[in-house]
Amino acid sequence: MNRITGTALITGASSGIGAEFARQLAAAGHALILVARRQERLQQFKDELEAEYNIPVTIHPADLAQPEQIAALVAFIQGLDELAILINNAGFGTMGNLGETDSSKQTEMVTLHVLATMELTQAALPKMRQQGFGHIINVSSIAAFVTGPGNVNYCATKAYINSFSRSLQLELKGSGVYVQALCPGYTYSEFHDRPEMDGFERRSMPRYLWMPATDVVRESLAYLGREKVIVIPGLLYKWMVAGLQSWLVRVPLIMYQRYLGK
């Protein structure tokens, strides 16, 4: 990890990739602000991190699929004295064709992936530009590069995150503020255990498609302070996105698209 100091704010911080970001940044000495829906779990995680790493941790319980709670976090960010790293990680997926799924869940997904990412980033930018440094990590997905039935808004919102991040980095060139869109593939976490992902069978996916969150986060943090917007952890997924014409690439990509349409 490049040596960047200061406070890091992480959404979706109570489990999975978000929790791993918290652990690795705490180990590097960063003060943390953890945002997630489950207050009790956040408090337990705060106590664990403070005891193990001797760093200050602030918790901010919030459901960022709700516009009023996005607004409250925006106000909180605007009131901070400094912010070095913002990680927009909170997200979820669904299973099923658009016309047959719960419309409220689709609206929540778009709100969380698109509006929350945009509004929190916009809130952090003035402070980061004034400081002359900062890093924004928007957690996207390998799904941003594929299309398929069964989770159309997930693919679409992650594609938005990639485009948003690329364009924003152009705006920020020379400012000392860097933007990354982290695009993991299948990652061991609680993501696929949510009720919205009912029907997904983890065991049916080849083991070589899965990565531990530790590796995903380690690769992301290796690019702190560098103008590399799209970060794809894992050699296999890099090959998939590059579109190499071999069975090793085509088969996982076809399987991924089929599961999006399941």
CB 15 within 8 A of CB 38: no
Residue ranges in 35-151 assigned as alpha helix (H): 39-53, 67-78, 103-110, 117-131
User: pTM of the full predicted structure?
Assistant: 0.86
Integer-rounded Cα radius of gyration of the chain: 18
Q: What are 154-181's pLDDT values in tens digits?
A: 999 999 999 999 999 999 999 999 999 9
Reading the block at residue 70, the tokens are: 């996005």
Instruction: For the domain made up of 8-260, give the CATH fold.
Output: Rossmann fold (3.40.50)
- Residues annotated as catalytic (active site), given as ranges: 154
DSSP string, 27-43: HTT--EEEEES-HHHHH
Per residue in 111-138, pLDDT tens? 999 999 999 999 999 999 999 999 999 9
Distance from chain centroid for Cα 142: 12
